[in-house]
Amino acid sequence: MPENYIAYPSANINGVISVPGDKSISHRSLILLSISRGIGNITGLLESDDCLATLRIFNLLGIDIFKNSNNSYTVVGNGLHGLNETNTDLNCGNSGTSMRLLCGLLSAQKFSSLLIGDESLNKRPMERIAVPLSQMGANIELKNNIAAPIKIKPVEKILGIDYKMPIDSAQVKSSILLAGLYADSKTNIFENINTRNHTENLINFLGGKIDNNKNIVTLYPNQELLAKNIDIPGDISSAMFIIVGCLISKGSEVTIKNVGLNEFRIGGIEILKLMGGNIKVTNVKNYGPEKVGDIIVCSSNLKGIEVPSCHVASAIDEFPILFIAAAAASGKTILKNAQELRHKESDRLLAMSEGLKKCNISNVLYDDGIEINGGKIMGSIVDSYGDHRVAMSFAIAGLISKNPITILDAKNVSTSFPGFFDLMKEMGLNIDRSNS
């Protein structure tokens, strides 16, 4: 049954908080420790629906993963060749990260697998991973040659390849790298723009050999990964909802502790600074293979900008909430070269455009972007299309809306930010679950 929420106009938000662990790093930590040799502990694992889907799949593949009394998780890795065949379908739920990364890993195993997902995931494009993996020798069958369910059959060997990325996607890159761990020769990936490098960081952290040379990622074959303990920082994508909420509501000030500051994940911060956002980063330190710090935010008078293309890839997950910042800003904000937003849990360009129009914010939709004219958010009933980031974005818009915003189909917020609504209520957002 769909969950609907009503966000009411609120005075401001304030507090010193932490956000849940990084979703991207949580997935990759579970995957890479499962194929490492030895026992590793994960602290800060995001207990979202998506990450728990990955965890359950590795349980089915014979990997012992259990939760400790201190809320950390222990992964007993069996090495690169230690996964076991299962007759059970591997259900990724709503998680595109799970499906795409696991497709690369399972393509190199000596057994067959079937990856399935929910209705939304089964509509998302999967040929983007099937093409390079097939070039590596993988035997992959997509439904209608486009999407899941994905049937994977064993092959004699996986080939190292040189692959030029046609789209900017860390999921595609990571899928190739996971298959490349089993390849007969090195794998070179050529990126147009650097995408998040959590997979590369973790492979290096666990003793693998992988080079990053500008836009070229080179993975070397025949290497064993050795388990280590992994500390996962707070998710910058989750923090962005609170950051924008603070910026657009007068009298707000928030400190967010121990947030991941990966250099290829902070595009959203840079965009907000260009818009005039009062954002400071302090206490920067290394947290295992990643950089973390505290983010201090104060309410600001934002202005519209043309988003620099260099920040698009590193802010791709944050654009729904950045559109709310644009709606609250003075002047016009223009985004181009963001076609990838069409292929997320929903068509995020369309979903946000429709919702903003219902809230009295005029905008023009492009094939690869949007033009938003800042104005007064009036409130309305908006459809999140089951997309967690769309739902959370309109919840934040409720802070400054003249009238309440009713958000339809917000159940999937738990896929990335469990406890979001409770945390926001604690900080001052007036939001309630709707029974209608």
Q: What are the domain boundaries of the chain?
A: 4-21+233-434, 23-231
Strands 405-408 and 381-383: parallel
Residue tagged 């709503």 (tokens): 94
Burial state string for 304-337 with b = 16 or more CB within 10 A and e = fewer than 16: bbebeeebbbbbbbbbbbbbbbbbbbeebbebeb
User: Would you state the pLDDT for residue 435?
Assistant: 65
Contact at 8 Å (CB) between 169 and 314? no
pLDDT tens digits for range 306-347:
999 999 999 999 999 999 999 999 999 999 999 999 999 999
Least confident of 238-252, 368-382, 410-424: 410-424
Ramachandran angles phi, psi of 300, nearest 5°: -145, 160
Q: What is the pLDDT of residue 228?
A: 97
Percent of the chain with pLDDT over 70: 99
Of 22, 317, 383, 387, the catalytic one is 317
The per-residue pLDDT for range 70-111, each reduced to its tens digit, is 999 999 999 999 999 999 999 999 999 999 999 999 999 999
Token pair 């290497």 is at which residue? Answer: 223
pTM, two decimals, is 0.95
Over residues 206-216, mean pLDDT:
93
What is the length of the chain?
436
pLDDT in tens, 130-184: 999 999 999 999 998 899 999 999 999 999 999 999 999 999 999 999 999 999 9
Instruction: Provide the greatest CA pair distance for the chain.
Output: 63
Q: Binning pLDDT at 50, 70 and 90, where does residue 436 land? A: low
For residues 65-74, average pLDDT: 97
Is there a shared CATH topology between the 4-21+233-434 domain and the 23-231 domain? yes
Going by C-alpha positions, the residue among 254, 213, 235 that lies closest to residue 418 is: 235
Arch. (CATH architecture) of 4-21+233-434: Alpha-beta prism (3.65)
Residue 412: per-residue pLDDT: 87
Kindly indicate the confidence band of residue 2, based on its pLDDT and cuts at 50, 70 and 90. Answer: low
| Crossing angle of helices 23-34 and 96-106, rounded to 10° | 20
The Cα 180–Cα 355 span in angstroms is 42
Question: For residue 235, which of 312, 298, 325, 317 has the smallest C-alpha distance?
Answer: 317
Q: Taking the domain 23-231, which CATH number applies?
A: 3.65.10.10
253: its two tokens: 């000030």
With bands split at pLDDT 50, 70 and 90, how would you rate the model's confidence at 252? very high
pLDDT at 288 over 80: yes
Mean pLDDT, all residues of the chain:
95
Q: How far apart are CA 308 and CA 272, in angstroms?
A: 12
Q: Tell me what the mean pLDDT of segment 400-413 comes to.
A: 94
Alpha helices, DSSP H, located in 262-414: 267-274, 319-328, 348-358, 388-397
317 labelled catalytic: yes
